[in-house]
Structure 1
Amino acid sequence: MKPYLLAIVFFALINSVNASEHSPVTRFGVAISNDKAQIAYSVTGGGKTALIFIHGWSLDSRLWHNQTQYFSKEYQMITIDLAGHGNSSYNRKDYTMVSFAHDIKAVIEKEGINSAILIGHSMGGGVIAEAAKLMPERVIGIIGIDTSQNVALNFTQEALDEMTKPFEENFQKAMRAFVKDAFPKNEEEDTLYWISEDMASAPKDIAINQFRHYLGQYVSGESYRVFENINVPTVLVNAKLWPTDSAENKKHIKNYHIYFIEETGHFPMLEKPNEFNQILLKAVKSVK
């Protein structure tokens, strides 16, 4: 081999080794939930504590792409597609928060995790509360992202039916309007378009089923009663687009703390990823 070709091969090998040292490797898996639903997930990094990231309504684990490299340096970072989302199966009859909690349990048990902090966005906040209730011996804390603004919100079945009606009549139009209202007016078009079209492409019947079960917690009161059985720290990282009633939350949540992220909408992990990562890391450290 000519000397200059040998040098090229040598430096290519060195660069590949350096890249592998600095870029965390992600592996993918599938766990089987208690109702036989197939739950797709990814694992990046390592550590004694696993951070398990749960997306919100009609989204998937891609929501957290700005967090993977940052958190996997110190923690085992796991992202999950809940049933009816992303690469997981779509054959569940009812998409309840408890059934989603079992999706998380299936991943935790398959990976042999004994110390987990659950991080859930929007609807995911209701999911991680149910998961903490389901697995008190494995979950050491839960962190909600722009969620649980008032866990005891007085919500009626009539109000839920009224909120659902636009999605039943014209799902894609209603979803795009919902997403537009969830972002500040100055948000970048690319981010707004991605989230809007991604959520609008969800299967209508499945999405509405999830929506009704999520907000149905506020009709039944399960939204606050679930915290009667949760003794681990509960932390919120919320935007100020929708006001948070911490005084009311403290009546129902035993170990409550909140961080605010300024000048973002409902998707701070996409709008201000660097600032969000720093605040979320503080929230994680406060749990530990």
Structure 2
Amino acid sequence: MPPVNYRAQTTLITGASSGIGAEFARQFAARGSDLVLVARREERLRRLATELTAAHRVRVEVIPADLSLPRAGEHLAEQTNRRAIAVTSVVNNAAFGTAGPFHQQGPDRLRDEIAVDVTAVVDISRAFIDQLRAAGTGVLVNVASLAAYQPGPNLAVYSATKAFVLHFTEALWHESLGTGLRVLALSPGVTRTEFFDVLGTDEVSGPFPRQSAADVVTAALRALDRRTSPPSVVSGRLNWLAANSARLFSRRQAVQAMGRVNARMDAATAGPSASSTAA
């Protein structure tokens, strides 16, 4: 498969106001891609758009959106069509997590978590995949997590949503073979972003060093640059080892081990319902 010509791309990125999403925007713009930046915080998006337009002379559009609302993909497709923007690549990055025992989480917050982390990913992928496949030159990147590779006591819903994103995206990778569209599930570990700042990253990184958002996005682009890109990638060798080590243990052992790790995180957040948003 030929390499991605980013100068021919218009890439829609969700959760683009900070962290990994903003870094995707910077690295895609540096490669020449035009951008559509999506998040709730319009002021941040506009500052980033101004920065990237000045630095790289690319077209950057801003669409403020709350992805917890129904029909997120249809809304974004309507917005891009109205502006005559032909999206050829998509990065589904927006997500948030809640930490603490499941029975102490608010039902409305859990519904929003599933809406943003799962429903919006599916909805946006479906809204744009026909035109991505027709263009046959771009990428569809869905951001999963190291948490996708094992159950997560005290992160029960978040870990489950990311397992969904991982399996969903790997299936789309296979379905897209031969179309020219590169599909990738990206699984970061603990990353220096607002997501973990809220949860207390110094206490939850364990034996693994925190990566920067630049490290994570670079790992994704490195995978996409391969002649035959993989269906998924875990950023960082130690994170890759952690993701694959679960298969060495029984399910009981894996759940108990993650329970101990996540209990430390819950204690660090000093509350039963800490949460963080990448939007």
TM-score (norm 2): 0.36
TM-score by length of 1: 0.35
Greater helix share, structure number: 2
Greater Rg by CA: 1
Higher RCO (CA < 8 A, seq sep 6+): 2
